[in-house]
Structure 1
Amino acid sequence: MRFSVSHACKTSSGRCGEIWGLQGASDAECLQTPTCLLYTHAGSVPHLTYDMLHKIKSVDHHPALFPLPPIASFANSVQEFGAGISTFSGMSTHPSFIRIQDPMKATPSGFNDKAGVSIWDQGGRIHLNVPSFMRIMEAFKPSCYQALCDSDTPKDATRKRLQRSVERTTSLLDQCIAAKSVSSALRDTCILGTVVGGYSREHRHASVMEISKRDVDGYVIEGFHVDGPASKSLKFEEVDDLLQEVVAFLPEDKPRFMYGVLRPEFILKAAMSGVDVFDTSYANAVTDDGLVLSFRCSCDNELATMLERNLSDHQLALDMRDSVYRDQFVPLLEGCACYACRHFTRAYVNHLLSTGEMLAYVLLSVHNIHHFLNFFEAIRRFLKARH
């Protein structure tokens, strides 16, 4: 994986860039940043078949995020299959990024130790040490994977917990790098280091100084939340200063990742602070809630407004379960060109939700992912316009 900055803002740390050379992508395919990875669960985008997913504009070769829960338990089958997790899951045209935890699921606290990290799937807790984790990566053959890390730092984390998080994350990264260096199966796979430290300036600084010395292909910034829908409540102002300090110590020529169910205004402000890659778990979360993304982002003035103030929930999305929509025979969002808006109405989706039909979530997902991808196009235009 190679990364280059194509435009740097002079009034902020925001930047536009290009990622290319990903395993699983052709040499001609270039990922424009800031961008988001398609969130998947158990190897597929929730609610969507392969055919429905590919009704979304520009999604054919879009990279996908594969959280380890619950696919870690697929490792033996994927190893026997022999072609990696993307092909095994039917997403062979999508470069694959592995994350340790699932951004849609709250991570239980207190289950990591110096030997490894715990994840949870349907069968309960799975403890991953470096050898078991690397065996899974060799079976999955992803385009890029996050090294094992201990980012279990809720807001009330003690100083002792923060120190252990930093030390264990650094140690686990060193072991993952060493194991990768002797693995022929992972020769062309990229590895990401993770910056941790919670809300402590001291520990964030200690972590970024160590991780930035390592030979990795990019950086994941974690530890501000413990994942799950509750991360929607995270306000950018809570992490602004710490994020700025972390980014200032990271190399300019490597991408920065930040995963989670993050609100659009948080994502925009983080992009303005120099974060390059996010994921679509927010779009998936609002789909699960029966909501249609409706916030306006087509012009610079609308994004400038989003920077100045946080939007209320009803400004971000419409609740299609509300009976007010049962007689509205108009697209889910006026002016939207997605498949759902071109062929179906608010009244129909309201009816589907009222009767418990699965098709409701299919149509909501198509629209919400389309809208979210358009949001990132708007962010890139916005950054390029700020000289």
Structure 2
Amino acid sequence: MGFSFECQGQCSTTHARAGVFHTPHGVVETPRFMPVGTLANVKTVTPAQLKATGAQMVLANTYHLHLQPGEEIVEEAGGLHQFMQWHGPMLTDSGGFQVFSLSDMRVIEEEGVTFRSPRDGRMIHLTPERSIQIQNALGADVIMAFDECPPYPATYEAVAAATDRTYRWLKRCITAHQRPDQALFGIVQGGVYLDLRQQAARDLVELDLPGYAIGGVSVGEPAEFIEPIVKATAPLLPLNKPRYLMGVGSYREMAQAIAAGVDLFDCVIPTRLGRHGNALVKGERWNLKNAGFRRDHQPIDADCPCYTCQNFTRAYVCHLLRSQEALAYTLISIHNITELIRFTQRIRESILSDRFTTDFAHWLQPRGDR
């Protein structure tokens, strides 16, 4: 039931590293992109299709599963792995992101957060202890501490208060946590203020947790703010523990974060784009509904090994989209998930051969530079 992280190779000129994160349900080779399955389901994709993309670890969301179907039902089914038939490693967010995203439906107090349910209007009271209880019942391998994710923009004083509260809540999460077969990760907050980020990282490291996350990025700040935040934070986190950048799944931001020493990423981008007919192809976004694809009988990406690219053409997917056939969303999502996982796999291979900064030089440049 143990957790461990081993570094297998490191870039000679950056903090980038290739490692293996061991969990009770298998290993995760890092760096790695993790698909998001908010409601115990990666949208439009079956578990078998998901496994074929190369996915090794999948996310679900505590807040949304608490609302529907309820953690008691998931626990009765044998936990998330059995409930959704995904038998690899899993991670659950704590509901802390909803403190940010549902800001017009909640009240924050020291005890916790009170939400108005978007489903039926009832009041939901989520505390650090309740978040951990729910996650213990859901049974994911990695569970996240309940945190306050401050918005952008916010004053220094407001972000400092949220960061301090996140630390106090973390200690309550540690006390409430009851399952040794689940690894509790702490979350570094601090907004765009680097001194708050660095102090938060130092405070969390003293608690000697199984892993650490960097939260509160991609919450409205300009994209160019992400790299300085990660560069100031990641190297302060322990070398022998996994580092997870929450909510980031774009090529450049992942490459730059890996250069700073980050191991794990998640984002809804691949399936959200898929449901809008957009395919990720070598760093570009293609709208496959466009008329130019109607007679294009090539795969989405001839170099991609995914089920979609090995069996179907751009013309066929374009036809499905124009016909509003749900299969289109599945096929594009399969490709997009595969594309982002392959991107992090290629970075892993480049780290092991010490060619990371050469092979990924384009993505390591700041936005706008060529």
Same fold, TM-score > 0.5, yes or no = yes
Give the counterpart letter for 2:207 in structure 1.
Answer: R
SS for the counterpart of 1:18 is strand
Partner of residue 205, structure 1 = 198
| Residues 1:118 and 1:86: Cα distance change in structure 2 (over 3 Å) | farther
Partner of residue 111, structure 2 = 115
Verify the 8 A CA contact 1:39 1:280 in the aligned structure 2.
yes
1:356 aligns with 2:336: no
Verify the 8 A CA contact 1:104 1:260 in the aligned structure 2.
no
Give the counterpart letter for 2:171 in structure 1.
Answer: D
Partner of residue 133, structure 2 = 135
Between stretches 255-264 and 239-248, larger displacement belongs to: 239-248
Partner of residue 4, structure 2 = 2
Partner of residue 25, structure 2 = 24
Partner of residue 308, structure 1 = none
**1:244 corresponds to which of 224, 231, 238:** 231
Verify the 8 A CA contact 1:116 1:148 in the aligned structure 2.
no
Identity of paired residues, percent? 26
Could you report, residue by residue, the CA deviation over 1:284-337 in whole angstroms, capped at 9, with x for unpaired residues? 232122111111xxxxxxxxxxxxxxxxxxx51211011110111111112322
- Report the Cα offset of residue 106 of structure 1: 7.2
CA distance in 1, matches of 2:299, 2:316: 10
Residue correspondence of structure 1 range 282-321 to structure 2 within 5 A: 282-295=269-282, 316-321=284-289
Could you report, residue by residue, the CA deviation over 1:7-44 in whole angstroms, capped at 9, with x for unpaired residues? 12221111111111x1233xxxx321101222103101
Partner of residue 124, structure 2 = 126
CA distance in 2, matches of 1:48, 1:114: 39
1:100 aligns with 2:97: no
- Report the Cα offset of residue 77 of structure 1: 1.1
- Report the Cα offset of residue 121 of structure 1: 5.5
SS for the counterpart of 1:328 is coil
**1:335 corresponds to which of 274, 292, 303:** 303
Verify the 8 A CA contact 2:147 2:166 in the aligned structure 1.
yes
Give the counterpart letter for 2:303 in structure 1.
Answer: G
Partner of residue 196, structure 1 = 189
| Residues 1:99 and 1:242: Cα distance change in structure 2 (over 3 Å) | same
**1:90 corresponds to which of 80, 85, 101:** 85
1:264 aligns with 2:256: no
RMSD over aligned Cα, in angstroms?
A: 2.3
Could you report, residue by residue, the CA deviation over 1:114-155 in whole angstroms, capped at 9, with x for unpaired residues? 22246766345633113322221221122110011112x222
| Residues 1:352 and 1:234: Cα distance change in structure 2 (over 3 Å) | farther
| Residues 1:138 and 1:96: Cα distance change in structure 2 (over 3 Å) | same
Verify the 8 A CA contact 2:128 2:145 in the aligned structure 1.
no
| Residues 1:77 and 1:121: Cα distance change in structure 2 (over 3 Å) | farther
- Equivalenced residue count is 347
Verify the 8 A CA contact 1:260 1:282 in the aligned structure 2.
no
Verify the 8 A CA contact 2:53 2:334 in the aligned structure 1.
no
What is the TM-score normalised by the length of structure 1? 0.83
Between stretches 257-266 and 348-357, larger displacement belongs to: 257-266
Partner of residue 42, structure 2 = 45
CA distance in 2, matches of 1:90, 1:266: 31
CA distance in 1, matches of 2:6, 2:114: 34
Partner of residue 324, structure 1 = 292
Verify the 8 A CA contact 1:104 1:261 in the aligned structure 2.
no
Q: Which runs of 5+ in 2 are unaligned?
A: 356-370
Verify the 8 A CA contact 2:93 2:143 in the aligned structure 1.
yes
CA distance in 1, matches of 2:240, 2:82: 30
| Residues 1:137 and 1:101: Cα distance change in structure 2 (over 3 Å) | closer
CA distance in 1, matches of 2:44, 2:227: 34
